[in-house]
Amino acid sequence: MNVSVTRKPLSLADPNGFRYLSIGLTLAITSLFLVLPLATVLTEAFSKGLGPYSDSLTHPDTLAAIRLTLLTAAITVPLTTVFGVAAAWAVARFSFPGKNLLVTLIDLPFSVSPVIAGLIYVLVFGAQGWLGPWLAAHDIKIIFAVPGIILATLFVTFPFVARELIPLMQEIGCEEEEAALSLGAGPWQMFFSITLPNIKWGLLYGVLLCNARAMGEFGAVSVVSGHIRGLTNTLPLHVEVTYNEYDFIGSFAGASLLAGLAVVTLIVKTFLEWRQAQDLKAARLASE
Amino acid sequence: MGIILNNISKKFGDFTALDNIHLDIPEGELVALLGPSGCGKTTLLRIIAGLEQPDAGQVFLKGNEVTEQPVKNRQIGFVFQHYALFRHMTVFGNIAFGLRVKPRKQRLSEAEIKDKVHALLKLVQLDWLANRFPEQLSGGQRQRIALARALAVEPSVLLLDEPFGALDASVRKDLRLWLRHLHHELNVTSIFVTHDQEEAMEVASQIVVLNHGHIEQQGSPSDIYDHPANAFVSRFIGQTNVFDLEQTDTFWLKNSGLPTPQIGKVAHVRPHNIELAKATAGTAQAVLKDWQHLGALIRVELLNKEADDEVAIIFAEMPNEQFKALQIDKGEKVAVRIRHAHWFH
């Protein structure tokens, strides 16, 4: 046995077996709160066999919910990505008055309850809201319609990409970008050939988290959706509606999709974290 | 018609980085911007490059005003202190970058680019590294690749920000000489920033000494060393012994043979302008505290016991043989003779 690997400093010696206690406790809690529910979702979904499971997934209302969820993600994720890159650029590359305030504002959706976020939109765009009469007069539907769902999701997913990129771009610094400019590159050439390759893993990480949230968001969307079956139900809302109607197979089948999304997200996230760590290590080596 | 800076000023908040700088750099020179940290030398370099905008003043490159021009139109090559190599590109990709981002009409064919990159790699003697990534290179190699990358676009002006700052002492020595030879070969007007006076003396054909955002002196290395314009330059370039007439024993100074001042009350004496001899009556005496071997020269530390300022150490330098001929030991008295001094207020 290689003693030098296992030797620990005295301060880390563990006479009372606290190591086993803490590892055991963490494992127990993880399985109780994470693995067990996931298993329940799958067993419930398949409790009557594969047939009813696939029937409930191919039900028109379920398909409509899946489509709306995908549409919401397809619109919000690119917008959040563009906003996130722009915001990170502004914060990491320039100094301007109110910069700290901007960073705080970007974080706001993290600290506000999603229900409040939904409510804000109802108060602004709803029938009794500030813009309600004007919108009604021009026959524009936002609340209890798809635009409301997209707005609410945008609000909730707003900070994901920016939060990921701001520290990353600050760490990388702007010398490589300045080098590109000094070699005759235009701003867009610089962005696509230097900045983007340097931040790509962090960017993908942010996009991934943003996508998971956009597809899984419940609270904010629930307030503005109106739960119109086949029209304004996203997948998480569909799960709730079917569950309330004692359609357990339907509900858990929908939930299994969301759980699957979570697992895939987790795996990709782990990979991206590993890639990012490699890049940061290379960055530190390069600037030594 | 090299580089002309006219009335350049720059502030960062309340801090004045550059205060009304005038500078005229003839074509083909290799100039050192020399000064302590925070003196504004890097800011000045970045303003010439267009990476920073001056608050006031104009920049002329080769007779054309470029103050409002973006970096890409200035035809400059910039070498960054930490190299700033593109980490996701190979050495080849790095050097080819400036050639590949040109508008299609001016762009060389891939075959021509390949030839040119390999020619540059040969110039910096690193042809065998073309397919490596920056993280696989040593510091000195990175610096030379960064230089090759800057030269690829055939700049009319080459700007280097602390080019040797992040390197080991031995690598630094080699690269200094190499840069000087390369400049002889290419004859591109070049400016490099440094805080190391030895480096400036060794590499540059012209030195510009900066302090607190203004120029203290501009001239050839020997000009600046032999005729410092003021006390700051005299202290900053090389080692200097300072004798203040109001604080040092005037009798002692008179015995040392210090020439009388034409102006000023403070004498700056270079270590090699101090002569030692056997202590005899009527000479200015000091005690030999310590001495160091600097190769061909011996540096001697002397304590002037008769001065008011007891801790004042006098440094003298002399050739090896001369020191041996004196035959003095630590703690013994020697006679000090001052051959030459610069006087400042």
ipTM: 0.82
Token pair belonging to A167: 């520290």
B98:A183 CB<8 A: yes
Question: How is residue A144 annotated by DSSP?
Answer: T
The number of C-beta contacts closer than 8 angstroms across A and B is 72
Provide the greatest CA pair distance for chain B: 84
User: Looking at the complex, does the CB of residue B95 fall below 8 Å from at least one CB of chain A?
Assistant: no
Q: Which of B46, B86, B90, B171 to mutate to test the interface with A (most CBs of A within 10 A)?
A: B86
Amino acid, single-letter form, for residue B37: S
The amino acid at residue A8 is K
| Yes or no, beta carbons of A180 and B86 under 8 Å apart | yes
CA A247, A248, A249, A255: dihedral to nearest 10 degrees? Answer: 110
Q: Do B41 and B192 meet the contact criterion of CB atoms below 8 Å apart?
A: no
B105 touches chain A (CB under 8 A): no
Whether the Cβ atoms of residue A260 and residue A56 lie closer than 8 Å to each other: no
Q: What is the pLDDT of residue A176?
A: 92
pLDDT tens track for B240-270: 888 887 777 777 777 787 777 667 788 888 8
B13-45: buried (b, 16+ CB within 10 Å) or exposed (e) per residue?
Answer: eeebbbeebebebeeebbbbbbbeeebbbbbbb
Q: CB of B72 within 8 A of CB of A158? A: no
Asked if A185 lies within 8 A of B72 by C-beta distance, the reply is: yes
SS3 of chain B: the string is CCEEEEEEEEEECCEEEEEEEEEEECCCCEEEEECCCCCCHHHHHHHHHCCCCCCEEEEEECCEECCCCCHHHCCEEEECCCCCCCCCCCHHHHHHHHHHCCCCCCCCCHHHHHHHHHHHHHHCCCHHHCCCCHHHCCHHHHHHHHHHHHHHCCCCEEEEECCCCCCCHHHHHHHHHHHHHHHHHHCCEEEEEECCHHHHHHHCCEEEEEECCEEEEEECHHHHHHCCCCHHHHHHCCCCEEEECCCCCHHHHHHCCCCCCCCCCEEEECHHHEEEEECCCCCEEEEEEEEEECCCEEEEEEECCCCCCCCCEEEEEEEHHHHHHHCCCCCCEEEEEECCCEEEC
Nearest to A131 by CA among A115, A147, A114, A155: A147
Mind listing the pLDDT tens digit for each residue in B18-62? 999 999 999 999 999 999 988 889 999 999 999 999 999 999 998
Neighbouring C-beta atoms of residue B105, cutoff 10 Å: 5
Confidence (pLDDT) at B264 = 76
Q: Which residue has the tokens 């530190």?
A: A284
Alpha-carbon span B223 to B227, nearest angstrom: 5
Cβ separation A181–B70 shorter than 8 A: yes
A172-181, B115-124, B242-251, B336-345: range with lowest mean pLDDT: B242-251
Q: What is the pLDDT of residue A1?
A: 39
CA atoms within 13 A on the CB side of B276: 31
Structure tokens at B67: 């103050």
**pLDDT, averaged in runs of 10, over chain A (288 residues):** 50 73 90 86 84 84 88 92 92 87 89 88 82 81 84 90 91 90 91 92 90 88 82 86 84 86 87 81 63
* Tokens encoding A74: 């397809």
Q: Is B101 on the interface with A (CB under 8 A)?
A: yes
3 state SS of A58: coil
The tens digit of pLDDT for each residue in B181-220 reads 989 988 899 999 999 888 999 999 999 999 999 899 999 9
For the beta sheet containing B266-269, the strands, ordered from the edge strand earlier in sequence to the opposite edge, are B241-244, B266-269, B342-344
Task: Round to whole Å and give the CA distance between A154 and A150.
Answer: 6
The nearest CA of chain A is from the CA of B285 a distance in Å of 50
* Interchain contact B61–A (C-beta under 8 A): no
For residue B49, which residues of chain A lie inside 8 Å, CB to CB?
A: 182
Give the residue with greater pLDDT, B304 vs A103: A103
* Cα dihedral B214→B216→B218→B220 (10° resolution): -140
If you measure CA to CA, which chain A residue comes closest to B135?
Answer: A286
**Closest-CA residue of chain B to A97:** B13
- Residue B172 and residue B165: Cα distance in Å, rounded? 8
Q: Is B76 on the interface with A (CB under 8 A)?
A: yes
Distance, CA of A19 to CA of A11 (rounded, Å): 13
3-state secondary structure of A136: helix
The letter for the amino acid at B235 is R
Confidence of residue B92 (pLDDT cuts 50, 70, 90): very high
Mean pLDDT of all residues belonging to chain B = 87
C-alpha distances out from residue A171 to A10, A159, A199, B199, B331, Å:
35, 19, 11, 31, 55
Structure confidence at residue A4 (pLDDT): 46
- The distance of A150 to chain B (nearest Cα, Å) reads 36
Q: CA nearest B29: which of B262, B250, B191, B231? A: B191
Q: Give the confidence band of B113 by pLDDT, cuts at 50, 70, 90.
A: very high
The reported pLDDT for the residue numbered A287 is 56
